[in-house]
Structure 1
């Protein structure tokens, strides 16, 4: 969500919270699409690739780079909102039915969806329909006009419609990076006409031409800032039952394969109630994200054990280390390449559905500027939403520098020439971060255990080595990760292995350290921030 100054505060609290560790397995259904384990590419499309020279990343630019995404190995694309908004991030809509013209036309969108599906990939659309700006028809027509047909579409605090309700954090307006301030208010999600409008809106994006064939529509939706009790407003309670369930049920009735992803508004939540009561399919593993970003073994074990054990069957968790609302991982680890590679391994191998935020794969930095640019303004998030660095220089064809010369976020930008952080500098370097991501994604694709297997922590004798197993049927992969800069050795206990160990040996599938099993113990040594993956074979 755009208002990440609130979410960053929640995250800071979340990282201090811990739970008792326990050995666990996940409940992922191993029969789902075994041939194509999903890897999501979360793209801030305005900053990705500009196809027409106006400095805005756009739909045709994303279409032009589908070869790049497939080469990297991703299978699904998650975009931030496409609909019309006065804000660069396109949250807080002025018209839910119009595509932002800087992204392109409806025809451009349909061409993109067609090409994505032709490649066997998926596309997810981000939706946030609980807020609108003063520019939206519902707001404009009903403000100070109680007789408006849209009077009950907007949440007002008075009978004269002179006091539109606040949004998250009790805000009534937001300053854009361009200095323009717009009023924002909350939609009355308990209005029956609003529910019916949402049903039709979402269904349109599932099946744009209404012919019952979903090839031209999205494969799923991300529901931004989803809540059962929206922003603690007394007027908007029990939304799982009264709004979200009816909406999602209507979508699944039309297309049972539609995938609904919820961004739980409370980042300290595991999101299980969204899966059991909110009718969604997938939530974000925020607490695991925080543990990974700390590179703390105890935290990671606790969060992985908990999340994968309590997630219901046929439901999922998206595992990520970056998104559009938080400082980039490279900034958190101070651009330390070995640490960034460890983050990649945890992101892609630990389980769930991995999501890679655009530019993460080349180590783009940014973020940590909360409040730096004048308090509450959407400029604060520009550093983690900078243009994808395609070239060794910080300029070139397709560079989406929409924020150029617009303020201190440009003067202090992270994009720098000749700093090793670009696709051009990394693609042909076998030791680069980009090739590390590509190799790990391919490894995950080639292994049923890593692609679809359950998770269990493997105890070992070293506080700096994190070890776990991914397994499905009789196939298993063992992953050992050194979370320190110094060489480390450990005995890994296999007594609780859910697959038979006796009579099997180890095949090294990633890393360069051979290991052997003696009885129920695996002994291995890793260099600083080393990653080893072994396959159990007969």
Structure 2
């Protein structure tokens, strides 16, 4: 049987607002993407995942959708979209759309109708509850700060919004909602898109009891046990699969907040009854921090290793992994897991790429990762645009949970805006992203870090990614090899092997800026070095941020 194409693919995520602006209004757009398709084709990626381009008031940068079948005016027209899709397909590139169906915008016509009256035909499209003792129905907090409930004067009830108050949650219990969603998905599939990345899809089924959550930070209750991986989520996804997904040759990945390995085996099971794979968050969740993700603490390699190894070994033969270091919601990989200083930025970026792309699963590259873009390190709140960052700063500082200096330090480390600064194309004004005033500040290091310089330098991170992608196409072991953890107590080295038939691929990555001893390559001359970020090696050692992958015949 031919291997599912998505297992062999490498996926590149585009955040349209920050990728390339074609008309000088300071906002990236669809024609800007089309203009750079050759750059992506040359990199070697197979699939482009596009963050939302639908009509939206932009409360959460497009993840609040007011019309699923229209394009945001700032991004262009449906004709622009159709041309982009056609140009992608001409180049053999596939397109994955971002599907955001846990919630809509409060400006979506369904919600506009829903809030008019209790007996409106659309009332039950959303989750409405009566006040409890004159207050919110329960103590749940929203992901972007504040209560997860918003009072509506018109009908004197509360509606649920797990994110912003302008993002009311859809009621998936309502069969009409599911039919609307499935019809809309079918419309996009018939248009020719090649798959869906499903935003917070693990949250579409809620605990029908709506119990109070445990209060962690002194303000609101944690709703995650009651909204993540709910009682009917697999039933809904199987219905989606039967009615839409199974009818087309698609790639599907679910963003699954709170997902466990056991749940992932259901979402991404190999029988194909739900999704192809899920995004889990364990490896990017903050080191046990007092205030959730809001910390400037660095990761610990031992913890990172145990999480990555668990997902590799426990999904083996049961489900498929998605592999990523960063995305539009996470800080830059080289800043978080590597070393973004001038001495080690390139080496550590290549090391991280090696580490990820040699694991079992489908790798994702976030725009700019292939040139080693870094965190923005904004030092003024006025520079931030992200609703989560702005709301949390206000909530935490006003309530004494963190002082302004601590909060700014945490934002520099983990704010979503670190990933959202404009793509750095060249050394011209605003990094070649726009001829206008960019919607968010460009990282000033674009003079040193940009795509034009990377393409001109044959030793750049860009060509290293290109080589990794080619290796994936040429070596079956990278796709199918069974994972085996190595050096599992080492403080500095993350190492593993992949085994397939008579072959053994050994990968070792030094996550430190020190030279460390490593005996995995004592007989390296007997194997074939597939890739390394150093030209010369030292016997029995790994240099700072060194990565090596050597293929042995058993």
Work out whether the TM-score is over 0.5.
yes
The alignment status of 1:286 with 2:281, answered yes or no, reads yes
The alignment status of 1:435 with 2:426, answered yes or no, reads no
Task: Output one character per residue of 1:19-42: Cα deviation in whole Å (capped at 9) or x when no partner.
Answer: xxxxxxxxxx994449x8211101
- Which segments of 5 or more consecutive residues in structure 1 lack a partner in the other structure? 1-28, 174-182, 209-216, 495-500, 516-522
- Which segments of 5 or more consecutive residues in structure 2 lack a partner in the other structure? 132-153, 211-226, 288-296, 391-415
- Residue 505 of structure 1 corresponds to 526
1:393 corresponds to which of 428, 433, 443: 428
1:120 corresponds to which of 92, 100, 106: 92
**Structure 1 residue 86: Cα displacement:** 0.5
- Residue 39 of structure 2 corresponds to 68
Task: Output one character per residue of 1:288-316: Cα deviation in whole Å (capped at 9) or x when no partner.
Answer: 44599967543343223311222263732
Task: Output one character per residue of 1:245-291: Cα deviation in whole Å (capped at 9) or x when no partner.
Answer: 21222113322x32221101226777514335982220114224459
Assess, with a 3 A threshold, how the Cα gap between structure 1 residues 291 and 377 changes in structure 2: closer, same or farther: closer
Q: Judge which range, 439-448 or 196-205, deviates more.
A: 439-448
* TM-score of the pair, normalised by structure 2: 0.75
Task: Output one character per residue of 1:384-441: Cα deviation in whole Å (capped at 9) or x when no partner.
Answer: 211101012343655387744xxxx63xx524452x1111222222333323322333
Assess, with a 3 A threshold, how the Cα gap between structure 1 residues 346 and 372 changes in structure 2: closer, same or farther: farther
1:103 corresponds to which of 75, 78, 83: 75
The 3-state SS of whatever aligns with 2:312 is: helix
The alignment status of 1:92 with 2:61, answered yes or no, reads no
Equivalenced residue count is: 468
Q: Judge which range, 485-494 or 56-65, deviates more.
A: 485-494
Distance between the aligned counterparts of 1:281 and 1:327, measured in 2? 25
The alignment status of 1:188 with 2:171, answered yes or no, reads yes
Q: Contact conserved, 1:264 with 1:271, CA < 8 A, in 2?
A: no
2:321 corresponds to which of 317, 336, 345: 317
1:341 corresponds to which of 341, 350, 373: 350
Assess, with a 3 A threshold, how the Cα gap between structure 1 residues 355 and 264 changes in structure 2: closer, same or farther: same
The 3-state SS of whatever aligns with 2:513 is: coil
Task: Output one character per residue of 1:467-524: Cα deviation in whole Å (capped at 9) or x when no partner.
Answer: 2222333333221222222223322399xxxxxx9xx931222234579xxxxxxx74
Distance between the aligned counterparts of 2:84 and 2:12, measured in 1? 15
- Residue 546 of structure 2 corresponds to 530
- Larger strand percent: 1
Q: Contact conserved, 1:458 with 1:493, CA < 8 A, in 2?
A: no
**1:409-424 superposed matches below 5 A:** 410=441, 413-418=442-447, 420-424=448-452
- Residue 249 of structure 1 corresponds to 242
**Structure 1 residue 166: Cα displacement:** 2.4
Distance between the aligned counterparts of 2:79 and 2:177, measured in 1? 27
1:350 corresponds to which of 359, 362, 374: 359
Distance between the aligned counterparts of 2:203 and 2:286, measured in 1? 26
* TM-score of the pair, normalised by structure 1: 0.77
- What RMSD in Å do the two structures reach over aligned CA positions? 3.6
Q: Contact conserved, 1:84 with 1:96, CA < 8 A, in 2?
A: yes
Distance between the aligned counterparts of 2:432 and 2:203, measured in 1? 45
- Residue 399 of structure 2 corresponds to none
**Structure 1 residue 536: Cα displacement:** 1.7
Q: Contact conserved, 2:25 with 2:434, CA < 8 A, in 1?
A: no
Assess, with a 3 A threshold, how the Cα gap between structure 1 residues 391 and 270 changes in structure 2: closer, same or farther: farther
- Structure with more relative contact order (C-alpha pairs < 8 Å, separation 6 or more): 1
Q: Contact conserved, 1:154 with 1:164, CA < 8 A, in 2?
A: no
2:233 corresponds to which of 237, 240, 247: 240
Task: Output one character per residue of 1:306-334: Cα deviation in whole Å (capped at 9) or x when no partner.
Answer: 11222263732111111111221233245
